[in-house]
Amino acid sequence: MQENESGLIFTVSGKKIQVNRPQPIISDIDVVSYKRRMDPQIAVEALVEGHNVLIADFYSSGLAVLNELKKYVKNKNSDQSFQGQRDFRSVFRELSHRILLFVSHNKLTVRKAPVIGWFSVLYPELDEFLLPFPQVQGLNSSWQWYEKGISIPVLNKKIHPFFGTYFPTRFEHLTLFDNWLKKYNGEKKSAIDIGIGSGVLSFQMLKYGFEKIYGTDSNPNAIFGLHEDLNNTKLNSKIELMHGNLFADFDFKTELIVFNPPWLPAYHNMEGLDKAIYYDSNLFPQFFAEAKKHLKEDGRVVLMFSNLAQITKVSEFNPIEAELLKGGRFQKEIFIQKKVSEASKKTRRNQNWRNSEMVELWVLKMRNA
């Protein structure tokens, strides 16, 4: 497998940044060809033996192989606990990413395939390449979200997230933040949105009168997507984007720091959108150390979090509580919880923990000396 380092490159705040994309396979590799007249179990056996499987006729043939592979992995990983489901997804991901599709001149070569606009946007320099089937599915879903938009209740508008950018699919924590903003009576000259993502928290702050938002994100796709959205709009002068980890190049103090961090501790090497869902052991200590340097003396830090890690037994402690107990930098001013809605009846995952899940809004201020 060979990685191509070209693709979409842009400049923001004087820095050249390259957009992330699913890694194209452009080198010659051995594949087992699969067509729908064949038994999908043959493809599954080839995957388990370490071979790559190329879907050669219809897009639906790939779906059939995926379905058969899912049955195989479930039979081998029947544990329905939270950790068991993690293990299932890990094994399934490894095997399913060896199911391949061929892209030629910005189109899938299999019949009855979806039209995906991202091919021309993300691979402008490539005429032909292979991609894993699940990544093509991700590109297809992302293109639909981008074109149709995602309705955000607290904004009464749609957002159009660029490929590879985190966007909220649940809104309880956004409601908590919105209700807090309604009552906020501090300065509104500036705020910094750490991990701005698709910009929802920043748009909420602008709705309530903040004059200037500085948005940072380590994900170049988030920065590019918002840069394109804001270009030539009235909001362009009100949101300044910076690419980098946590506070990036932010070099002065503000009255409000907002952070919606990942809610689960990492259990694997993270890539892509995993970084919006899972946090490593250094994230919170580093954030709080930097937040103290960037917060005005009478300013506030607002974090949105969840008890998900505790109720699913993947972590024994809340990292915000740990900071308040031992960090010596901040003290709690406000703590609000809100019960999450029930899991969709359409989901096939066992999400019984949703009965106990609460989203959290933490408002912290500097600890008195």
pLDDT interval class at 275 (50, 70, 90): low
Given 122, 146, 170, the domain boundary residue is: 146
Given 83, 115, 146, the domain boundary residue is: 146
For residue range 4-13, list pLDDT tens digits in order. Answer: 456 788 888 7
Is 4 a domain residue?
Answer: no
pLDDT reading at 50 higher than 80: yes
The C-alpha angle with vertex 190 and arms to 222 and 320, in degrees rounded to 5, equals 70
Between 307 and 204, the higher pLDDT residue: 204
Would you state the pLDDT for residue 1? 32
Please check whether residues 78 and 155 belong to one and the same domain: no
For residue range 81-90, list pLDDT tens digits in order. Answer: 666 566 667 8
Nearest one of 32, 164, 39 to 99, comparing CA atoms: 32
Given 146, 174, 199, the domain boundary residue is: 146
Is 2 a domain residue?
Answer: no
Instruction: State the DSSP H helix or E strand holding residue 341, giving kind and residue range, or none if neither.
Output: none
Q: Which amino acid is at 14?
A: G
Please check whether residues 133 and 175 belong to one and the same domain: no
pLDDT > 70: percent of the chain: 89
Report the range of poorest mean pLDDT among 94-103, 158-167, 264-273.
Answer: 264-273
pLDDT interval class at 265 (50, 70, 90): confident
Would you state the pLDDT for residue 336? 96
Please check whether residues 153 and 136 belong to one and the same domain: no
Is 199 a domain residue?
Answer: yes
Domain interval for residue 106: 9-146
The mean pLDDT of 205-224, rounded to a whole number, is 96
For residue range 311-361, list pLDDT tens digits in order. Answer: 887 787 899 999 999 989 999 999 999 998 765 545 454 455 567 889 999
Please check whether residues 123 and 261 belong to one and the same domain: no
Judge contact between 46 and 162, C-beta under 8 A: no
Distances (CA, A) of 182 to 74, 254, 262, 300: 47, 19, 25, 15
Which CATH number does the domain housing residue 242 bear?
Answer: 3.40.50.150
Q: Give the distance between the most distant pair of CA atoms in the chain.
A: 74
Q: Measured between alpha carbons, how far is 258 from 152 in angstroms, rounded to an integer?
A: 18
Q: Measured between alpha carbons, how far is 142 from 148 in angstroms, rounded to an integer?
A: 10
Between 304 and 274, the higher pLDDT residue: 304
Residue 183's contacts (CB-CB under 8 Å, 6 or more residues apart) are none
Please check whether residues 110 and 140 belong to one and the same domain: yes
Would you state the pLDDT for residue 72? 87
Say what the pTM is. Answer: 0.87
Please check whether residues 325 and 196 belong to one and the same domain: yes
pLDDT interval class at 3 (50, 70, 90): very low
Please check whether residues 142 and 155 belong to one and the same domain: no
Q: Which two tokens stand for residue 199?
A: 């910009």
Would you state the pLDDT for residue 350? 44
Please check whether residues 13 and 81 belong to one and the same domain: yes
Is 234 a domain residue?
Answer: yes
Please check whether residues 131 and 165 belong to one and the same domain: no
Q: Which amino acid is at 280?
A: D
Number of domains in the chain: 2
Is 136 a domain residue?
Answer: yes
Burial class (CB in 10 A: 0-12, 13-18, 19+), 302: buried
What secondary structure letter does DSSP report for 37? T
- Dihedral sign (CA 215, 218, 222, 226): positive
Residue 224's contacts (CB-CB under 8 Å, 6 or more residues apart) are 8, 10, 12, 17, 19, 162
Q: How confident is the prediction for the chain on average, in pLDDT?
A: 89
The mean pLDDT of 285-301, rounded to a whole number, is 96
Between 144 and 271, the higher pLDDT residue: 144
Helix (H, G, I), strand (E, B) or coil at 240: strand
Q: Measured between alpha carbons, how far is 212 from 302 in angstroms, rounded to an integer?
A: 17
Q: How far apart are the first and last CA of the chain?
A: 56
Please check whether residues 198 and 127 belong to one and the same domain: no
Residue 67's contacts (CB-CB under 8 Å, 6 or more residues apart) are 40
Q: Which two tokens stand for residue 247?
A: 């506070």
Is 251 a domain residue?
Answer: yes
Burial class (CB in 10 A: 0-12, 13-18, 19+), 166: buried
Judge contact between 60 and 41, C-beta under 8 A: no
Is 288 a domain residue?
Answer: yes
Q: Measured between alpha carbons, how far is 217 from 193 in angstroms, rounded to an integer?
A: 9
Helices (H), 220-339: 220-230, 283-294, 308-311, 319-326
Please check whether residues 206 and 252 belong to one and the same domain: yes
Would you state the pLDDT for residue 204? 97
pLDDT reading at 274 higher than 90: no
